[in-house]
Amino acid sequence: MKRYGLVEAGGTKFVLGVASNKDDIEATTRIETTTPAETLGAMVDWFRSQGDLSGFGVASFGPLILDKTSPDWGHIGITPKPHWSGADLAGSLKIAFGLPLAIDTDVNGAALAEARWGVGQGANSVLYFTVGTGIGGGAVVDGRIVHGLSHPEMGHIRLPRHPDDREFAGTCPFHGDCLEGLASGPAIIARWGASLSDLPADHVGHDIIASYLAQTVVTMQAVFAPLSIIFGGGVMGTVGMIDRVRVQAKALGNGYFAGDIDEIVTLPGLGDKAGLLGALALAQAD
């Protein structure tokens, strides 16, 4: 039985684990994301204490350099996150352990895990979005993660503005009012001073954010015709948000796209284990 080291690399914390299959995560720990030297050093130290491993699966915040012909494969790309642009995430483990290593974005990992074990089981086209500190999206088609020159950046698509949301400039440092710049947690706080969960249920923010996510749904239906579009992340913890997205997506689609929105658009099936299980799915697929 292969035992894999698993890394869920996030902007605020790294979650580490060891598992041989999805039902048996033997050990986990959390490390604060500070500087690459500190965090990656602590990660390597923890895995050294975990006995024999067969390889690693790493599901990370992006952007990531995933071109296998590049000397920078497995590095973090250019990110506004201080210290982390160019950090050699994969290399820190490769150099320390010399074992096989699979790395992809957290959302691609989660999409693969949901396609294998979660709500996307049996679907030939599964999309996973996280809506939190940032917005990311990943796609699994016919069992394989979709890549191009790099991984998709679905959080940075452009959307028409909600009529009651024309003034806000958006928070994306690259594009201003892209999807992430309009609907991520920081964008919500920048407009209304609180997260949606802390605003009254009849606050206009709920419908504005739902409208951008619903536009995302119909855009993805047009591009991928997915059987499953899964929305995770902190913003989706807002009571009623998934239902608001469904209602607005149905109205926007106007009966044109195949499938039942109530079945297509869901919360994650794997819950808070999606990150580590994503890393496991990546390791097993390598």
Q: Which residues bind Zn ion (CB under 5 A)?
A: 156, 172, 174-175, 178
Tell me the HSE value of 275 on the side-chain side, using a 13 A CA sphere.
18
Sheet holding 125-131, edge to edge: 144-145, 135-141, 125-131, 228-232, 265-266
Residues with Cβ within 8 Å of 75's Cβ and at least 6 positions away in sequence, in order, are 64, 65, 86, 87, 88, 89, 90, 91
Residue among 210, 265, 213, 211 nearest 239 (CA) = 210
- Closest approach, Cβ 174 to Zn ion, in A, equals 5
- Closest approach, Cβ 77 to Zn ion, in A, equals 14
Q: Which is nearer to Zn ion, 109 or 181 (CB)?
A: 181
Phi-psi region of 100 (alpha: psi -120 to 50; beta: other; left: phi over 0): beta
Q: Are 110 and 130 in contact (CB under 8 A)?
A: yes
- Closest approach, Cβ 1 to Zn ion, in A, equals 42
Residue among 61, 44, 40 nearest 53 (CA) = 44
Q: Which is nearer to Zn ion, 156 or 162 (CB)?
A: 156
β-partners of residue 126 are 140, 228
Q: Which is nearer to Zn ion, 81 or 156 (CB)?
A: 156
- Closest approach, Cβ 117 to Zn ion, in A, equals 31
- Closest approach, Cβ 215 to Zn ion, in A, equals 15
Q: Which is nearer to Zn ion, 182 or 274 (CB)?
A: 182
- Closest approach, Cβ 137 to Zn ion, in A, equals 12
Q: Which is nearer to Zn ion, 118 or 170 (CB)?
A: 170
246 Cα distance to chain centroid: 20
- Give the span between the Cα atoms of 32 and 9, in whole angstroms: 10
Q: Which is nearer to Zn ion, 173 or 240 (CB)?
A: 173
Q: Which is nearer to Zn ion, 182 or 279 (CB)?
A: 182
- Closest approach, Cβ 157 to Zn ion, in A, equals 9
Residue among 46, 48, 94, 96 nearest 73 (CA) = 94
Residue 71 exposed, middle or buried by CB count within 10 Å (0-12, 13-18, 19+): exposed
- Give the span between the Cα atoms of 276 and 24, in whole angstroms: 12
